[in-house]
Amino acid sequence: MMLAITTGVILVLSFIFAMLGLGGAMLYIPVFHWFGYDFKSVAIPTGLLLNGITVVSAAIVYFKAKMVDVKGSIPLVVTSFIGAPFGAYLTQFVPTRTLILLFALCMVFAGGRMLISSSQPDRDTMMDLKMRLILMAVGGFFIGMIAGLLGVGGGFLFVPMMLAMGYPTKKAAATSAFVVIFSSFSGFAGHIAEGHFNWPLMIATSIAVIIGAQIGAHVMKEKMKAKWIKQMFAVVLLGVAVKLLVKLYL
């Protein structure tokens, strides 16, 4: 019964996060934790797996619509792929309470940044190419490391970074989905190497996110406005961050 309820919740969340160009691990992981699954050995690795599956499913739709900047995202793909397993390895040295706190603080930062920018129009010009490549390479490694450490794909940091560089909102979300594929599965592999997995949960929720992500990606491509995407992103992240912090300290 608990597995069925958890799977249903994940289905709804994958629909929402596919629209935002995110894997959804920042919500998948707290959900698993709230339903009683161990944060380190089950919630984080399963969240990373579902993160990857969600964005693969969504990215297929975005590729067909030519919304993904594949060439421009290569520095992010390479460096985040390298950084994610390193972060996964570090998980064993960080207390669970500290991981949850870091997780919540990252969501507050990303959510606040998106809420502030939601009322602003997309930038008309892109940052200088050389500077953009340098920032992507350096930022990609550290975001990948954070992704592996906290069990997220990094989309909640990739999207604000690309928006700051001048990417239009929908293109940033679509390109983030592509990049997160690599950091998610790289981080997941690091956790599997440490023996962290729960096969029944992984199989049931994987099927759910494939269905939810396909629906969400089609809705975003056809009907979502940039302002709505940013506001949804911010509200979801801030709400979960508050929930985690309240549970942590009360």
pLDDT digits (tens, 9 = 90+) for 68-83: 998 888 998 899 888 8
Please state at what angle helix 155-164 crosses helix 96-117, rounded to 10 degrees: 30
- Residue 205's pLDDT band (cuts 50, 70, 90): very high
Which candidate, 144, 161, 178, places its Cα nearest to that of 70?
178
Say which amino acid occupies 208.
A
Range of the domain at 99: 2-249
pLDDT tens digits, 31-47:
888 888 888 788 888 88
Which candidate, 229, 19, 25, 20, places its Cα nearest to that of 115?
229
Question: Measured on CA atoms in the order 200, 198, 3, 31, is the torsion positive or negative?
Answer: negative
Count CB-CB contacts under 10 A for residue 55: 34
Q: What angle do CA 11, 17, 20 make, to 5 degrees?
A: 155
Half-sphere exposure of 106 (CA within 13 A, CB side): 23
Q: Mean pLDDT, to the nearest integer, of 122-144?
A: 83
Contact 122, 226 (CB under 8 A): yes
b (16+ CB within 10 A) / e for 166-189: bbbbbbbbbbbbbbbbbbbbbbbb
Cα(76)–Cα(59) distance, rounded to whole angstroms?
A: 16
For the chain, the average pLDDT equals 81
- Residue 238's pLDDT band (cuts 50, 70, 90): confident
- Residue 224's pLDDT band (cuts 50, 70, 90): low
Look at residue 58 and tell me whether its pLDDT is greater than 90: no
Cα-Cα end-to-end distance for the chain: 28
pTM exceeds 0.95 for this model: no
The total number of structural domains in the chain stands at: 1
